[in-house]
Structure 1
Amino acid sequence: MLAAMPPTPPVAEPRPGASGRDRDGASAGGRDGAAGPGRDRGDACPGALRLHRADDGALARVRLPGGLLTAAQALVLADAAEQLGDGRLELTSRGNVQLRGLAEDAGAELGARLRAAGLLPSETHERVRNVIASPLSGLDGLGHADVRSWARELDALLCASPLAAGLAGLFLFVLDDGRGDVAALDADVTLIATPGGGALLRLGRAATARRIAPGSVPTAALAAAEEFLTAVRAAGVKAWFVREAAELLDPGAEPLPAFAGGAPESGPFDGGLVAGTGFGTVSAAQWRTLAEAAAASAGELRITPWRSVVLPGATAVRELAAAGLRLTPGSPWELATACTGAPGCAKSLADVRADAARALGTAGVPGLPVHWSGCERRCGHPAGEWVDVLATGPGAYRVTARRTSGPTTTMQDLTTEQMAQAVAEARRTK
Structure 2
Amino acid sequence: MSGNRAVVYSKPGSVEVRNTDYPDLVLKDGPGVNPLNVGRKCEHGVILKVVTTNICGSDQHMVRGRTTAPSGLILGHEITGEVIEVGRDVEFIKKGDLVSVPFNIACGRCRSCKERNTNVCLNVNPDRPGSAYGYVDMGGWVGGQSEYVMVPYADFQLLKFPDKEQAMEKILDLTMLSDIFPTGYHGAVSAGVRPGSTVYVAGAGPVGLAAAHSAQLLGAAVVIVGDLNAERLAQAKSFGCETVNLRENDDLAGQIDQILGSPEVDSAIDCVGFEAHGHGKSHGEAPATVLNSIMEVTRAGGSLGIPGLYVTGDPGAIDEDSKIGTLKIRFGLGWAKSHTFVTGQTPVMKYHRELMMAILSGRAQIAKAVNATLISLNDAPKAYQDFDRGVSRKFVIDPHGLVK
TM-score bucket (shorter structure): under 0.3
